[in-house]
């Protein structure tokens, strides 16, 4: 009953579409125009992706830290490693650069040799004051040498902050206004004003300025994403149109398909603007994804139209059957594909949720566009010529189908043995997969800013902030001698970890105060003794500069302090080891009844976010499998058919995971997407095959062997076409500069290729081997929905 209603529904849809062609085209144009107007609302992401939900404990600690101490990622650093810098001309030009940087309204303040302050003792007033490092004009080489030697040898407070004593690398630190760090103002300033200023400096001096810092990295990384959107769209259109033309040898079929997917891309951008979602490294993939996923819809519809024309030459009937017969099957496959993406919506990650919403909406949108535009445009055209139908009789396609049929008929044991071997080997590979929590892992390795990241790691031991917050549980508890000693012990432990930079905290300031008390002698750069503490700290409290100094290290109540260090880009396992080691040290040094100490910072936030994401995506993949299993149950009303259909779709996922383990591709936010995307797409082939198999069962009076071979021959060609398009379509992502996008493209392509072979060889083999088990009335009873209706023998009019 339901099946008959379904057939009747699609026949009615076909009549409505073909009888209201002009109105439908007008509506499509109106919707496209409306969505194009929403492009102005599109925004590119200016903030660092937060993979954790807002109410996650780690996120709450990070937000608490930001509330107490302000934005941590607002520093941009400039460094030069060249002895030519220390000539009077270049050194003065370097100091001028810092003045120019500080003059921009977007800059809060700048620390450099130009304005560096030295803490000295004011004997008369018995307090500390700041005096400038450079007290007069720099005119001679001796002047430069005096300043640099004094900085390198007498001011350990600034070591690894402004200079590397061993390599004689020197740097300037620019702090952006915290209010503009996560806005588009930052992007315009860095890409235009800052870039122009540094280019001018390099041109004048011939020095190579290295630039880094999270605002700079994020800006250039975002610009790379923007640049790649157009590249991906053009590449996807180019590759898919070439393959499409190769298969169909028809310019008009190719142009119609390109027109459909271009409208789909316009809708994708419009929906992003309508929902006011930011364009991130994930949502930037949606437009080319729509092209890659939309082309198979065009292939199924145009292929069916040409088959019908070849069969009886009646254009009206051919167009009606394209909609009524292929429409239902295409809807089912698009729903399963959309389901694969929609499962991201159940995760608590805002990044993935937005990706899932927009991708699933647009996949259904491209189905609607294909179903409306293709039959309507063909209805205004003449019938395809004989040369356009030649591809239906290509001998090499027949050879491919014959090869598959031969394997299914005669090599089923080989198929099963090969599948089991691949399964076992893949499981071994899965155990070798690592998880990557590095925020710079996917950044373009050839980009100048990535090379600068490595430079700063080598010279200053990392650029990813790690913060340790010490809450003394009582106001003004930070400056107590016991607290300072405990913080100094922890700082020593941090300094002993090679992947972490020299820590900076209020301890450094107190040590600097003692050095200043003893007339700047470097050996006194240490914590005051118990006897010294009272009068040194008393002098520090009297100093007018004290408040400005302390605010960077201690909160306004004097109860909470921060210890800041920077981490190199290390593997997740090592990162977790460092975290565990520090937490163990914290537990030993700071008694929990007197102190509340926790670790935070963007480096740890990303690590925790990645781990959280992996857990959520495993759940979303399981949910996708469950949803599609339910979908199969509704269509085929057979538990055994569900199991049979899932095997050829799960095996390619396992093989891909094994390949990732063997070739060293880690699990990270970009690569974990592979499984849900590939599963949602590959199951389409299963639905097409089983739908045709069901149809052939009715035609051949439930003879399974004949039905399997007929279904294989009938669906093999279209499945091959679509799989090739998808394979090369996803392969365009390998031209990306982002490692994660490259991995996503290559892994999805490989998985879909495995899935095609599994659905065309393993699936029919299972159906034949389990013939007796599934050849009973319970399994073969009428499905809830006929995806492919029974072929009519007689030609009916559209009326």
Determine contact, residues 106/185, Cβ cutoff 8 Å: yes
Q: What is the pLDDT of residue 34?
A: 93
Look at the chain and report how many structural domains it folds into.
Answer: 1
**785 in any annotated domain:** no
Query: Both tokens of residue 542?
Result: 């009297």
**How high is the mean pLDDT of the chain?**
80
* 319-333, 476-490, 759-773: which is most confident: 476-490
Whether residue 504 lies inside any domain: the answer is: no
Coil, helix or strand at residue 789: coil
pLDDT digits (tens, 9 = 90+) for 120-134: 887 777 777 788 888
Q: 361 versus 710: which is more confidently predicted? A: 361
Q: What is the mean pLDDT of residues 395-420?
A: 82
Dihedral sign of CA atoms 138, 143, 148, 154 in order:
negative
* Backbone φ, ψ for residue 385 (5° rounding): -80, 165
In sequence order, the 6+-apart residues with CB closer than 8 A to the CB of 412 are: 765, 768, 769
Instruction: Answer yes or no: is pLDDT of 248 > 60.
Output: yes
Q: Which two tokens stand for residue 98?
A: 């810092």
Q: Is the pLDDT of residue 633 over 70?
A: yes
Residue 156 in any domain: the answer is no
Q: How far is CA 461 from CA 437, 454, 569, 572, 591, in A?
A: 18, 9, 10, 17, 30
Examine the pLDDT at 650 and tell me if it is beyond 80: yes
* Number of Cβ within a 10 Å radius of residue 557: 13
Report the relative pairing of strands 464-471 and 169-176 from DSSP bridges: unpaired
Q: Of 526, 495, 496, nearest to 513 (Cα)?
A: 526
pLDDT > 70 in the chain, percent: 88
Q: What is the pLDDT of residue 29?
A: 92
Q: Which pLDDT band holds residue 547 (cuts at 50, 70, 90)? A: very low
Among residues 281, 264, 260, 233, which one has the least CA distance to residue 364? 264
Q: What is the pLDDT of residue 389?
A: 58
CA dihedral 2, 5, 6, 9 (to 10 degrees): -160
Residue 44 lies in a domain: yes
Burial of 380 (C-beta count, 10 Å sphere; 0-12/13-18/19+): exposed
Could you tell me what percent of the chain has a pLDDT over 90? Answer: 11
**CA 364 vs CA 294, 297, 676: distances in Å:** 10, 11, 17
The per-residue pLDDT for range 291-338, each reduced to its tens digit, is 878 888 888 788 778 777 777 778 788 888 878 777 777 787 788 788
Q: What is the mean pLDDT of residues 608-632?
A: 75
Residue-wise pLDDT for 484-538, tens only, equals 899 999 999 998 888 888 888 888 888 888 888 888 888 888 888 877 777 677 6
Boundaries of domain holding 400: 2-48+220-384+394-431+606-780
Cα torsion angle, 461, 467, 472, 478, sign = positive
CA distance 46 to 480: 40
According to the model, what pLDDT value does residue 542 have?
56
The answer to whether 297 touches 688, Cβ cutoff 8 Å, is no
Q: Is residue 723 part of a domain?
A: yes
pLDDT of residue 797: 37
- Mean pLDDT, residues 450-466: 83
Q: Which residue has the tokens 């990162």?
A: 575
Q: What is the band of 31 on the pLDDT scale with cuts at 50, 70, 90?
A: very high
The pLDDT of residue 790: 46
Q: Whole-angstrom Cα distance, residue 96 to residue 79?
A: 14
User: Does residue 727 form part of some domain?
Assistant: yes
CATH of residue 684? 1.20.1640.10
Pairing assessment for the beta strands 278-279 and 43-44 based on DSSP bridges: parallel
| Dist CA 239 CA 704 (whole Å) | 39
Which one of 407-411, 508-512, 595-599, 638-642 scores highest in mean pLDDT?
A: 595-599
Residue 114 has pLDDT above 80, yes or no: yes
The structure tokens 């404990």 sit at: 57
In-domain check, residue 65: no
CA 218 to chain centre: 14
What is the arithmetic mean of pLDDT over 556-563? Answer: 87
Residue partners of 457: CB distance under 8 A and separation at least 6: 463, 568, 569
Three state DSSP letters for 13-56:
HHHHHHHCHHHHHHHHHHHHHHHHHHHHHCEECCCCCCCCCCCC
pLDDT for the residue 393? 57
| 294 Rama sector, left if φ>0, alpha if ψ -120 to 50, beta otherwise | alpha
* Comparison of pLDDT for 541 and 609, the residue scoring more: 609
What is the per-residue pLDDT across 165-185, written as a single tens digit (0 to 9) for each?
A: 888 999 898 888 877 777 778
Buried b (16+ CB within 10 A) or exposed e, 236-267: bbebbbebbbebbebeebbebbbebbbbbbbb
Instruction: Record the tokens describing residue 28, joined without a space.
Output: 């499509």
Q: What is the pLDDT confidence band of residue 438, given thresholds at 50, 70 and 90?
A: low
Instruction: Please identify which residue in the block is written with the tokens 């007069």.
Output: 136
Residue 2's pLDDT band (boundaries 50, 70, 90)? very low
- Where are the alpha helices (H) located in 206-250, listed in sequence order? 214-248
The reply to whether 589 falls in a domain is: no
Q: What is the pLDDT of residue 386?
A: 63
Q: What phi and psi values does residue 59 have, to the nearest 5 degrees?
A: -70, -40
User: Higher model confidence: residue 661 or residue 534?
Assistant: 661
User: Rounded distance, CA 208 to CA 110, Å?
Assistant: 20
- Local confidence band at 200 (pLDDT 50, 70, 90 cut-offs): very high
What pLDDT, on the 0 to 100 scale, is given for residue 312?
75
Mean pLDDT of 55-69: 82
CB proximity list for 459: less than 8 A, separation 6 or greater: 79, 81, 164, 167, 169
Give burial (CB, 10 Å; 0-12/13-18/19+) of 765: buried
CA nearest to 653, candidates 629, 610, 622, 626:
622
Residue 778: which of 640, 684, 628, 645 has the closest Cα? Answer: 640
pLDDT at 796: 38
Phi, psi at 123, each rounded to 5°: -65, -35
Q: What's the confidence (pLDDT) of residue 94?
A: 92
Give residue-wise pLDDT tens across range 255-296.
888 899 899 989 998 998 898 887 777 787 788 888 878 888
């Amino acid at each position: 009953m339901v099946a008959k209603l379904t057939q009747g529904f699609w026949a009615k849809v076909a009549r409505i579409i073909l009888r209201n062609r002009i109105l439908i085209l007008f509506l499509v144009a109106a919707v496209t125009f409306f969505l194009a107007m929403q492009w102005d609302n599109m925004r590119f992401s200016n903030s660092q992706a937060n993979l954790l939900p807002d109410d996650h404990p780690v996120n709450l600690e990070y937000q608490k830290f930001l509330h107490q101490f302000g934005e941590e990622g607002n520093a941009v650093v400039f460094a030069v490693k060249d002895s030519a810098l220390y000539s009077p001309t270049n050194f003065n030009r370097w100091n001028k650069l810092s003045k120019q940087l500080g003059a921009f309204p977007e800059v809060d303040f700048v620390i450099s040799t130009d304005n560096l302050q030295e803490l000295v003792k004011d004997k008369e007033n018995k307090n500390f004051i700041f005096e400038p490092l450079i007290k007069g004009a720099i005119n001679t080489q001796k002047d430069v040498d005096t300043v640099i030697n004094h900085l390198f040898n007498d001011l350990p407070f600034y070591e690894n902050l402004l200079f590397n004593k061993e390599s004689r690398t020197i740097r300037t630190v620019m702090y952006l206004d915290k209010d503009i760090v996560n806005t588009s103002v930052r992007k315009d300033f860095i890409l235009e004003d800052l870039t122009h200023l540094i280019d001018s400096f390099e041109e004048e001096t011939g020095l190579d300025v290295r630039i880094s810092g999270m605002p700079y990295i994020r800006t250039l990384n975002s610009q790379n994403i923007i640049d790649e959107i157009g590249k991906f769209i053009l590449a996807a259109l180019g590759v898919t149109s070439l393959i499409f033309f190769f298969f169909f040898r028809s310019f008009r079929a190719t142009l119609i398909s390109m027109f459909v997917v271009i409208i789909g891309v316009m809708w994708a951008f419009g929906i992003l603007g309508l929902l006011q979602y930011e364009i991130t490294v994930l949502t930037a993939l949606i437009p080319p994804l729509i092209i890659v996923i939309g082309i198979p819809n065009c292939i199924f519809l145009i292929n069916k139209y040409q088959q019908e024309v070849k069969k009886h030459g009646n254009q009206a009937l051919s167009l009606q059957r394209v909609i009524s017969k292929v429409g239902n099957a295409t809807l089912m496959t698009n729903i399963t594909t959309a389901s694969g993406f929609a499962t991201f919506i159940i995760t608590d990650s805002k990044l993935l949720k937005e990706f899932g919403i927009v991708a699933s909406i647009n996949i259904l949108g491209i189905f609607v566009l294909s179903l409306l535009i293709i039959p309507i445009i063909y209805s205004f055209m003449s019938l395809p010529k004989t040369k356009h139908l030649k591809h239906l009789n290509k001998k090499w396609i027949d050879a491919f189908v014959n090869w598959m049929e031969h394997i299914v008929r005669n090599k089923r044991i080989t198929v099963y043995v090969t599948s089991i071997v691949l399964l076992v080997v893949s499981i071994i590979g899965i155990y070798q997969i690592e998880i990557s929590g590095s925020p710079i892992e996917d950044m373009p390795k050839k980009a100048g800013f990535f090379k600068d990241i490595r430079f700063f790691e080598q010279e200053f031991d990392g650029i990813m902030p790690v913060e340790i917050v010490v809450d003394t549980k009582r106001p003004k508890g930070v400056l107590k001698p016991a607290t300072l000693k405990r913080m100094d012990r922890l700082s020593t432990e941090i300094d002993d970890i090679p992947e972490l930079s020299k820590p900076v905290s209020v301890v450094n300031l107190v040590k600097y105060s003692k050095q200043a008390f003893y007339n700047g002698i470097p050996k006194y750069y240490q914590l005051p003794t118990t006897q010294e503490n009272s009068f040194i700290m008393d002098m520090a409290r009297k100093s007018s500069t004290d408040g400005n100094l302390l605010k960077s290290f201690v909160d306004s109540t004097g109860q909470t302090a921060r210890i800041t260090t920077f981490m190199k880009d290390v593997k997740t396992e090592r990162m977790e080891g460092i975290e565990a080691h520090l937490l163990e040290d914290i537990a030993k040094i700071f008694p929990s009844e007197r102190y509340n100490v926790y670790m935070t910072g963007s480096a740890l936030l990303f690590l925790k976010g990645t781990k959280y994401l992996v857990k959520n995506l495993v759940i979303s993949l399981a949910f996708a499998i469950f949803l599609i299993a339910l979908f199969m149950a509704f269509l085929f009303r057979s538990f055994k058919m569900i199991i049979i259909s899932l095997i050829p779709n799960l095996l390619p996922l396992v093989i891909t995971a094994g390949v990732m383990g063997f070739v060293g591709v880690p699990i990270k936010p970009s690569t974990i997407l592979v499984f849900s995307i590939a599963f949602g797409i590959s199951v389409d082939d299963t639905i097409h095959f089983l739908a045709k198999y069901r149809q052939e069962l009715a035609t051949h009076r439930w003879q399974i062997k004949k039905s399997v071979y007929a279904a294989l021959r009938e669906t093999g060609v279209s499945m091959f076409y679509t799989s090739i398009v998808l394979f090369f379509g996803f392969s365009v992502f390998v031209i990306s500069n982002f490692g994660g996008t490259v991995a996503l493209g290559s892994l999805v392509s490989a998985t879909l290729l495995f899935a095609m072979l599994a659905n065309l060889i393993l699936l029919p083999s299972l159906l034949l081997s389990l013939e007796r088990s599934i050849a009973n009335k319970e399994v073969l009873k009428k499905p809830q929905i006929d995806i492919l209706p029974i072929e009519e023998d007689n030609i009916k009019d559209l009326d």
